[in-house]
Amino acid sequence: MAISFTDLHTEAGLKSLDEFLSGKTYISGDQITKDDIRVYAAVTGKPGAGFPNAGRWYETVSSALSARFPGEAAGVKIGSQAAPPAPSDVSATEPKKEAPAAAAAVEDDDDDLDLFGDETEDEKKAAADREASKASTKKKESGKSSVLLDVKPWDDETDMVNLEKAVRSVQMEGLLWGASKLVPVGYGIKKLQIMLTIVDDLVSVDSLIEEHLTVEPCNEFIQSCDIVAFNKI
Residue-wise pLDDT tens digits, 83-101: 455 444 444 444 444 445 5
Sorted by sequence, the CB contacts under 8 Å of residue 140 that are 6+ apart come out as: 199, 201, 202
Give per-residue pLDDT as tens, 219-231.
999 999 999 999 9
Distances in whole angstroms, Cα of residue 226 to Cα of each of 150, 152, 215: 5, 8, 15
Q: Is the pLDDT of residue 81 over 90?
A: no
112-156 pLDDT, tens per residue?
445 455 567 777 778 788 888 776 665 555 699 999 999 999 999
**Per-residue pLDDT, 200:** 93
The string of pLDDT tens digits covering residues 170-209 is 999 999 999 999 999 998 999 999 999 999 999 999 999 9
- Band (73; pLDDT cuts 50, 70, 90): low
Cis peptide leading into residue 217 (ω within 30°): yes
Where is pLDDT greater, at 173 or 65?
173
pLDDT of 2: 73
- pTM for the whole thing? 0.41
Residues whose CB is less than 8 angstroms from the CB of residue 112 and which lie 6 or more positions away in sequence, other chains included: 105
Helices (H) then strands (E): counts for the chain: 7, 6
For residue 104, pLDDT over 80 is answered with: no
Stretch 53-65: mean pLDDT = 89
Per-residue pLDDT tens for 11-44?
Answer: 898 999 999 999 889 988 888 888 888 899 898 8
- The reported pLDDT for the residue numbered 145 is 95
Q: pLDDT confidence of 111, banded at 50, 70, 90?
A: very low
